[in-house]
Each structure stands twice: as structure tokens, then as C-alpha cells.
Amino acid sequence: MIRQFEQPHPYPGKLIIVEGIDGSGKSTQLQLLHRWLEGMDRPVFFTEWNSSRLVNEAIKRGKKKNLLTPMTFSVLHATDFADRLAHLIIPPLKAGMIVCADRYIYTAFSRDVVRGVDREWVRDMYGFAVRPDISMYFKVPIEVSLERILSGRPQLKFHEAGMDLNLSDDPVESFKLFQSRILNEYDLIANEYGLTVMDATLPITKQQENFRKVVAESLDSYDPRPMTRPRKRKVANV
């Protein structure tokens, strides 16, 4: 099977994606980058994981009642991603825009595999996805991510802590076990697909400085002209 994400995409726009476990600070970094690009009058568009209206309610209901098997979870998120890709990622790329995506296919590659889905099967299922121009992996220790999450709210979410896997009856312990496994998958993914690894324990300003440097270098070859359809040749009447 041909995996589109293993070869450069043909669109004039740029796709920038961020990955990392919960509490890594990736969303904050992408939002700061988004505002920076807007400040330079760059044509930029923002999108995030699990944002398609097509299956959003089904995923929410399934999570709330804990009805989703790992395979069902995987297929629903792939459906959500396919809709997001078709309507919120490829059109802006065709128009020559810079697309900032909070989480991409690598989220599925890590979470689904940890939940027991075959590694190659997941990759094949997302074979239709376009390859990002910039892929940032914000790596952070489990203890740091846990502290960040609990400093903002009183408790962990059920699936965030991997409670559906019955790793532990204690949400905190389950979170550590679940997210540690995801970290291991991310390390494999970063090596396999060349994600740029960012030390997410650095000060926010330093991370953003490094992030902008990577993006600025990529934008040297950026041509924001949109794709145009080839004109149909007129056939003279004989």
C-alpha cells in the first residue's frame, strides 16, 4: 500500500504539526507560533485533533459510556481525521496557506498502538494523509506533564489516564503507565519519520525561539501562490 505521508505533498502551502503527550505544552507553542505568523501577515490557518463534526458526537458518547474498543476508537478517529484533512487541511494548502495542526497522524500511531492496535495496520489506515513540512515533537517527562495538568484542573480525565486499559485503579498511576508507553511510541515515531524533538522542559520563550527558527528556515522556500487548474485547450472547429 502506498502511504502518502511517506513522500512530500504537491501543494504550495506549508503544513506544520506538533505532537506530544498531554501536558507537553505543544498547544501553547503552536498558538504562539500561529500569532507570530499572523503578525508577519502570513496566510495561516489553525486546526486541531478530533475537531470534525462528522463523528465528534459519536466519539464523545462512546467515551462517556466507555463503549469503544481499541479498534473502534482507532477507526472513529481515522474517520474524524479524514474529514478534517479533506475540509480543513488540504484546501488551505492548495490555496498556498500555512496550516498549523495541533496533533496529526502520529497521535494515532502512538495512542492506538498502546491500546493494542497493530502498528502497521494503523499506518496503512492513515496512508491517505499528506506528509507534514515541519513535524515538531515536544518531549517532556511524565512527572512534569502530570504536574502541569493537575495545576490547571483537579483531576485527570478517564481516557487521558488510560483508565480504559485497566492498568491501575489509581488514575495517577494509570496515567504514568499509559503516557509512558505513549512516550516510548513517540520516540520510535520521531526516529522513523524524522520529527524534530524539542525539549519541552525549557522555558516557554526558549522553546518558541527554537520553534520559530525551524519554521523560518523552512519558509525560505515558501511560495504562497495557490494552485491553479490547467486551462483547457480550445479545439478549433474544422
pLDDT digits (tens, 9 = 90+) for 170-179: 999 999 999 9
Q: Is the pLDDT of residue 57 over 90?
A: no
Q: What is the pLDDT of residue 71?
A: 87
**DSSP secondary structure of 159-220:** TTTTGGGTS-SSHHHHHHHHHHHHHHHHHHHHHHHTPEEEETTS-HHHHHHHHHHHHHHHGG
Q: What is the pLDDT of residue 62?
A: 65
% of residues, the chain, pLDDT over 90: 74
Torsion, Cα of 93, 24, 32, 92 (10° steps): 10
* C-alpha cell, 60: 464523545
pLDDT in tens, 104-138: 999 999 999 999 999 999 999 999 999 999 999 99
CA distance 75 to 77: 5
CA distance 76 to 148: 29
Beta strands in the chain (DSSP E): 14-19, 44-48, 98-102, 134-139, 196-199
Q: Is the pLDDT of residue 236 over 50?
A: no
* Residue 134 and residue 215 in contact, taking contact as beta carbons nearer than 8 Å: yes
User: In degrees rounded to 5, what are phi and psi of residue 112?
Assistant: -65, -40
CA distance 162 to 76: 18
Q: What is the pTM of this model?
A: 0.89
Beta bridge partners of 99: 15, 45
Q: Is the pLDDT of residue 229 over 60?
A: no
CA distance 123 to 3: 8
Q: Is the pLDDT of residue 230 over 60?
A: no
Q: What is the pLDDT of residue 45?
A: 96
* C-alpha cell, 229: 487548474
Q: Which domains does the chain have, with CATH numbers?
A: 4-212 (3.40.50.300)
Query: What is the chain's mean pLDDT, rounded?
Result: 90
pLDDT in tens, 158-171: 989 999 899 999 99
